[in-house]
Amino acid sequence: MSGNQKPSVGPKAVRQIIIALLLVCAGWVLIELEPIKELLGFTDTEHGHDDSEVIPGFHTPGFHAAYGFISCVLLVLAATQMRRFVKRDEDYYDD
Amino acid sequence: MIEQLPPGLIFALGLLPPGLILVLGGILLPLIPKQVRPLWLLALPVFGLLQVLQLPVDAECVVQAFGYDLELLRVDKLSRIFGIIFHIAAFLSVIYALHVKDVVEQGASIAYAGCAIGAVFAGDLISLFLYWEGTAITSVFLVWARRTERSYKAGMRYLVIQVGSGVLLLAGAMLHYADTGSLAFGTSWASDVGEGLRGAFAFETLADASPATLLILLAFGIKAAFPLLHNWLQDSYPESTPTGTVWLSAFTTKLAIYALARGFAGTELLVTIGVVMTAFPIFYAVIENDLRKVLAYSLNNQLGFMVVGVGIGTELALNGAAGHAFAHILYKGLLFMSMGAVLHRVGTIKGSELGGLWRSMPLTTIFCCVGAASISAFPLFSGFVTKSMVLAAAVEEGYTISFLILLFASAGVFHHSGIKIPYFAFFAHDRGLRPKEAPKNMLLAMAVAAFLCVAIGCVPGPLYALLPFEVKGFIPYDMTHVVTQAQLLFYSALAFVFLQKTGLYPPELPSTNIDSEWLYRRGGRRLTLGSWGACARIGGTLRRSLDLLVDRKLAIIKKLHQPDHGAFGEPWTLGTAAIWAAGMLAAFALLGLL
């Protein structure tokens, strides 16, 4: 299984992917801002249920963006700490 | 309108109860010439699906056996959607496994699918039990098919737990019959459409639930991988063959979801259980090194969304649960197919040993990414149009905290299934692996599954038409749904990049992460060995004490009977004997007088 340990995608391509991701991320939040919505002619459509009353701040622009980012960072940090308690040798059950 | 089909007619027409075509086909497989077997295997799900499609919704077939009413066939929209997707999954799995020559694996897999199909069309608890155990017994051969000691042991553990679930179901059925005099497994949903639909055994609080109900819930809960009852899944699925895991991923757990929907729709406890199921496996998925085990954890997480839908129990939520099960079987099958292809070509599926495979397995990479996008519920992919129904139902019914946890789990599933799986297998570090692209039959199965994932995501109408209830007022592609979901996912991706760049992302390490299986693989063993040792020690002490006691008594007796010295050993004179005899006679005389 040994071999070279270089990244499988070149640094230039990685940089381009990250820039594209940042642009897309910015775009999905900007699209929620009222002036942009009006500019593009988007309106909130009826989707069969009303969720604005239930969760405060649910329709604040960027709520889901922040929720997604923070969730994932916390998930990974918590899971990393969990290794302290649950990680054993690969052949732990084999003996 | 219930159309009663007489059993004689069914058999006269050659219409076996659904599922039995596949079961019998699997049993007869060894008798079929080797060259014909692939065609035979491909034909079975096709015939089975045609049979299901021509059965009218509301068809029933009740037979009397041993004084009980057995409802061998009940077709309603709930059983129908599961029946259809099980046939599609069987067909795709047959294509994926066309290169397999092991007749035991082939026969067991198609019979396994048949048992699951039979179970969703069974209208009484005894028939359900028989098929339930059928899925356990046939599917264990798929775990054993790897033919390693690890897979043999994992298969044994799997078998004990699965058969145990069946035994609990039977016990529950018997108690239920004693309580109610009925063996019916709920009623046809088509005749029950309307407000307030609840499962046959649904309950408000645990205190209201009868022992029969709890036993049946426990039986379903084991197969649905409820928290702490879940670990058979992550233990056994990754030990199977590349093809076996694809079969396993489709049927057992989704049969349990069907059974929960039929039995416990509207039971609020399931919302809590489902929410826990969505959240806790993703922590394990992040640190797991075996990529098929990562998928097993994410399977557990996806089942959670379905269990929540069943627990909420409204039409929208139940549509979401059934629809998500349909979509899930396809995308999860696709993900297991892509990882199976990697295992087949490279010989390992450990994240710490993989990377850079996109160069030599580009098509598998693309198909894996489609599966990853679908499970992550990206707009235009299948998971989006089904999972959003469950989330919308949770909001509608006021499950705010549950909804926020589901949202967290949605972000998490993208993190580990959407990004981690393709990233560590196909990208990440180039380890110089240049295997051949997956075999053609595997690619074909993956292509069809990927096509269906995209088709359902882009045109959800045909799937919505199959759902148990009419989809009213729910629009998946509205501005709010798309924007919020896109934000959630793209910012999760951003978090992954951030964690990678800052070195906070945990590396893939060769390791075993202990989970609830520890209780029976280590804890139980220690308990048994410890108890055995303690029993042996107590037994030894008792035996030694007894030996000592007996030795002492023997020594006294020996001393008393010693010739010349002991009281009883030396010869008595005639006078002494006469005195003893007189004393004895006097004692008897006194006793007689008393």
| Same domain for B552 and B528 | yes
Distances (CA, A) of B411 to B45, B351, B556: 36, 21, 83
Q: Let me know whether B446 and B534 are in one domain.
A: no
- E strand or H helix at A31, and its extent? none
Contact state of A1 with B353 under an 8 Å Cβ cutoff: yes
Residues B364 and B498 in one domain: yes
What contacts B264, CB < 8 A, 6 or more positions away? B199, B201, B202, B217, B220, B270, B310, B311
pTM of the complete model: 0.87
Using CA atoms, how far residue B37 sits from A35, B32, B48, B216, in Å, is 64, 6, 17, 38
Distance CA B30, CA B260 (A): 35
Name every chain A residue with its beta carbon within 8 A of the beta carbon of B395.
Answer: 49, 51, 54-55
| B551 and B579 share one domain | no
> What are the residues facing B290 on neighbouring strands?
B350
B292 φ, ψ to 5°?
Answer: -75, -30
**What is the token pair recorded at B25?**
């086909």
B343 and B476 fall within a common domain: yes
Backbone angles phi, psi at B256, to 5 degrees: -65, -40
State the pLDDT at residue B7.
56
Element (H, E) at B86: helix B77-96
User: How many angstroms from the chain centroid is the CA of residue B471?
Assistant: 29
Measured CA to CA, the distance from residue A6 to residue A24 in angstroms comes to 28
Give residue for tokens 């308690």: A85
- Residue of chain A whose alpha carbon sits nearest to that of B151: A94
The reply to whether B432 and B491 lie within a common domain is yes
Q: pLDDT tens per residue, chain B (594 residues)?
A: 344 555 555 544 445 788 999 999 999 999 999 999 999 999 999 999 998 998 888 777 888 877 788 888 889 899 999 999 999 999 999 999 999 999 999 999 999 999 999 999 999 999 999 999 999 999 999 999 999 999 999 999 999 999 999 999 999 999 999 999 999 998 887 655 555 567 889 998 888 899 999 999 999 999 999 999 999 999 999 999 999 999 999 999 999 999 999 999 999 999 999 999 999 999 999 999 999 999 999 999 999 999 999 999 999 999 999 999 999 999 999 999 999 999 999 999 999 899 889 999 999 999 999 999 999 999 999 999 999 999 999 998 989 999 999 999 999 999 888 999 999 999 988 888 899 999 999 999 999 999 999 999 999 999 999 999 999 888 899 888 899 999 999 999 999 999 999 999 988 888 889 888 888 888 877 788 888 888 889 999 999 999 999 999 998 888 888 776 677 777 777 888 899 899 999 999 988 877
Rounded CA separation B339/B353 (Å): 13
Domain carrying residue B46:
1-262
For residue B436, the SS3 value is coil
Chain B hits for A76, CB-CB cut-off 8 Å, are: 286, 415, 495, 499, 504-506
Sign of the dihedral defined by the CA atoms of residues B194, B199, B201, B205, in that order: negative
From the list B183, B30, B47, B184, the residue with the least C-alpha distance to B114 is: B47
The residue of chain A nearest to residue B427, with distances taken between CA atoms, is: A8
Best CA proximity match to B271, nearest among B320, B232, B219: B320
Interface of A with B in 14-53 (CB under 8 A): 18, 21-22, 24-25, 28-29, 31-32, 42-49, 51
By DSSP bridging, strand B68-74 and strand B59-65 are antiparallel
Cα separation, A22 vs B242, whole angstroms: 37
Task: Examine the predicted complex and report whether its ipTM is higher than 0.95.
Answer: no
Q: Do residue B512 and residue A93 have CB atoms under 8 angstroms apart?
A: yes
Distance, CA of B185 to CA of B594 (rounded, Å): 75
CB contact under 8 A, A86 and B504: no
**With bands split at pLDDT 50, 70 and 90, how would you rate the model's confidence at A46?**
low
Q: Among B238, B262, B286, identify where a domain stops.
A: B262
Are B448 and B548 in a shared domain?
A: no
DSSP for B255-279, please give it.
HHHHHHHHHHTT-THHHHHHHHHHH
Nearest CA in chain B to A64: B488
Q: Which of B262, B278, B306 is the last residue of a domain?
A: B262
Backbone φ, ψ for residue B124 (5° rounding): -130, 160
Quote the tokens at residue B421.
Answer: 């799986």
Q: What is the distance between the alpha carbons of residues B296 and B235, in angstroms, rounded to a whole number? A: 9
- Hey, is B309 helix, strand or coil? helix
- How many Å apart are CA B262 and CA B50, to the nearest integer? 24
Domain count, chain B: 4
Same domain, B199 and B340: no
Question: Looking at the partner chain, which of A21, A67, A88 has a beta carbon nearest the beta carbon of B497?
Answer: A21
Cα B247 to Cα B116, B423, B534: the distances in Å are 11, 24, 44
Asked if B490 and A25 touch (Cβ cutoff 8 Å), the reply is yes
Q: Which residue of B lies nearest to A73 if distances are taken between CA atoms?
A: B495
The per-type count for chain B, helices as H runs and strands as E runs, is: 24, 4
- Helix boundaries (H) for B355-439: 362-375, 382-396, 400-413, 421-426
- Judge whether A69 is closer than 8 Å to chain B, CB to CB: yes
Q: Please report which helix (H) or strand (E) contains residue B73, including its range.
A: strand B68-74
**Same domain assignment for residues B448 and B463:** yes
- How far apart CA B297 and CA B290 sit, in angstroms, is 11
pLDDT digit string (tens) for B1-42? 344 555 555 544 445 788 999 999 999 999 999 999 999 999
- In terms of domains, do B457 and B582 share one? no
Residue B320 to residue B80: CA distance in whole angstroms: 15
Q: How far does the CA of residue B172 sit from the closest CA of chain A (Å)?
A: 34
Measured between alpha carbons, how far is B237 from B242 in angstroms, rounded to an integer? 10
A61 in contact with B, Cβ within 8 Å: no
Looking at chain B, how many residues does it have?
594
Contact B215, B172 (CB under 8 A): yes
> Are B473 and B532 members of one domain?
no
Which chain B positions have a beta carbon within 8 Å of A48's beta carbon?
A: 316, 392, 472-475
Residues of A within 8 A of B505 (CB-CB) are: 76
E strand map for B479-548: 512-513
- Kindly list the domain boundaries of chain A, sorted by start residue: 11-43+58-86
Mean pLDDT of chain B: 91
**pLDDT, position A40:** 74
Q: Mark whether B454 and B544 lie in a shared domain.
A: no
Residue type, B534: A
Q: Which positions in chain A touch B483 (Cβ < 8 Å)?
A: 28, 31-32, 64
Q: Is the dihedral of CA B456, A27, B491, A34 positive or negative?
A: negative
